[in-house]
Structure 1
Amino acid sequence: MAAPEAVRDISQQTLLDAYEKLLVRVNDMHELADAEQWAELIEQRSNYVMLVEELRELDAHVTLDAAGKQRKTELIEHILEHDVEIRRRLVARRDELGRLIGVTQRQRDLHRAYAPQQGAYSAFDVDASQNKGAS
Structure 2
Amino acid sequence: MMPADKVLAGYEKLLKRSARMLNSAREGEWAHLVHEESTYVIEVEDLRQLEIHCELDADAMRRKADLLERILEQDTETRQRLENRRNELSELMGNSRRRRELSRTYQAPDIARARQGVR
> Which category describes the TM-score, using the shorter chain as reference length?
over 0.9
Query: Match of 2:9?
Result: 17
Q: Does 1:44 align with 2:29?
A: no
Question: Larger Rg: 1 or 2?
Answer: 1
Provide the residue aligned with 2:72 in structure 1: 80
Q: How many equivalent pairs are there?
A: 117
> Take 1:39 and 1:46, find their aligned partners in 2: how far apart are those partners?
11
Alignment of 1:50-69 (within 5 A): 50-69=42-61
2-side partners of 1:14 and 1:124: how far apart?
79
Q: Deviations over 1:96-115 (max 9, x none)?
A: 00000000000111111111
Q: Does 1:109 align with 2:101?
A: yes
Structure 1 unaligned spans of 5+: 1-8, 126-135
- Match in the other structure for 1:99: 91
2:2 partner SS: helix
Distance between the aligned counterparts of 1:62 and 1:21, measured in 2?
Answer: 18
Structure 2: segments with no counterpart, 5+ residues? none
Report how far residue 121 of structure 1 moved. 3.7
Q: CA deviation at 1:30?
A: 0.3
- Report the Cα offset of residue 120 of structure 1: 2.9
1:83-104 deviations in whole A, cap 9, x for unaligned? 0000000000000000000000
Shift of 1:116: 1.3
* TM-score normalised by L of structure 2: 0.94
Report the counterpart of residue 22 of structure 2 in structure 1: 30
CA-based RMSD of the aligned residues comes to 1.1
| Runs ≥4 residues deviating over 6 A | none
Distance 2:110 2:42 in 1: 55
